[in-house]
Structure 1
Amino acid sequence: MIILYILIGITALISWKGWEDTSFFRKYMFHVGSIRAGEHFRMLTSGFLHGDLTHLAFNMISLYFFAPVVIYQFGLYTFLFLYGSSLLAGSMLTLYFYKNQYHYTAIGASGAVTGIIYAAILLYPDMDLYLFFIPIPIKAYLFGIGYLLYSIYGMKAQNDGIGHAAHFGGAIAGLFFTLLKVPHLIFKQPLLVAGLILPIVILFFMERKRK
Structure 2
Amino acid sequence: MSINIILIIAIVAVSLFAFKDSNLMYKLIHNPFKVSRYKEYYRLLTSGFIHADYLHLFLNMYAMYLFGGAVEAYFSYYFGALANIYFIGLFVLGVIVANIPDFLQKKDQPYYNSLGASGGVSSIVFASIILSPLTKLMLFPIPIPMPAYIFAMVYVAYSVYMDKRQSDNVNHMAHLWGGLWGVVFMVLVYPDSLKNFFTQISESF
Pairwise same-fold verdict (TM > 0.5): yes
Pairwise CA distance, 1:121: 0.2
1:99 paired residue among 96, 107, 121 = 107
Cα pair 1:94 1:163 within 8 Å, conserved:
no
Alignment-derived partner of residue 64 in structure 1: 65
* 1:105/1:183 CA distance change after superposition, 3 Å: same
For structure 2, the residue ranges without an aligned partner over 5 or more in a row are 76-82
Structure 1 distance, partners of 2:162, 2:107, is 18
Equivalenced residue count is 193
Alignment-derived partner of residue 203 in structure 1: none
The code of the aligned residue for 1:149 comes to: A
Cα pair 1:107 1:162 within 8 Å, conserved:
no
Alignment-derived partner of residue 21 in structure 1: 21
Alignment-derived partner of residue 4 in structure 1: 4
* 1:146/1:94 CA distance change after superposition, 3 Å: farther
Scaled by the length of structure 1, the TM-score of the pair is 0.79
Deviations 1:58-107 (A, max 9, x none): 11111111112221222222111111111111111221233343322111
Pairwise CA distance, 1:134: 8.8
Deviations 1:12-58 (A, max 9, x none): 11111121122221221111111112211111110011111111111
Structure 1 distance, partners of 2:60, 2:200, is 23
Structure 1 distance, partners of 2:107, 2:157, is 23
Matched, 1:51 2:52: yes
Aligned-partner SS, 2:103: helix
Scaled by the length of structure 2, the TM-score of the pair is 0.81
Please, what is the CA RMSD of the aligned residues?
2.7
Alignment-derived partner of residue 175 in structure 1: 183
* 1:148/1:97 CA distance change after superposition, 3 Å: farther
The farther-off stretch of 17-26 and 54-63 is 17-26
Structure 1 distance, partners of 2:42, 2:60, is 21
* 1:123/1:189 CA distance change after superposition, 3 Å: closer
1:126 paired residue among 124, 127, 134 = 134
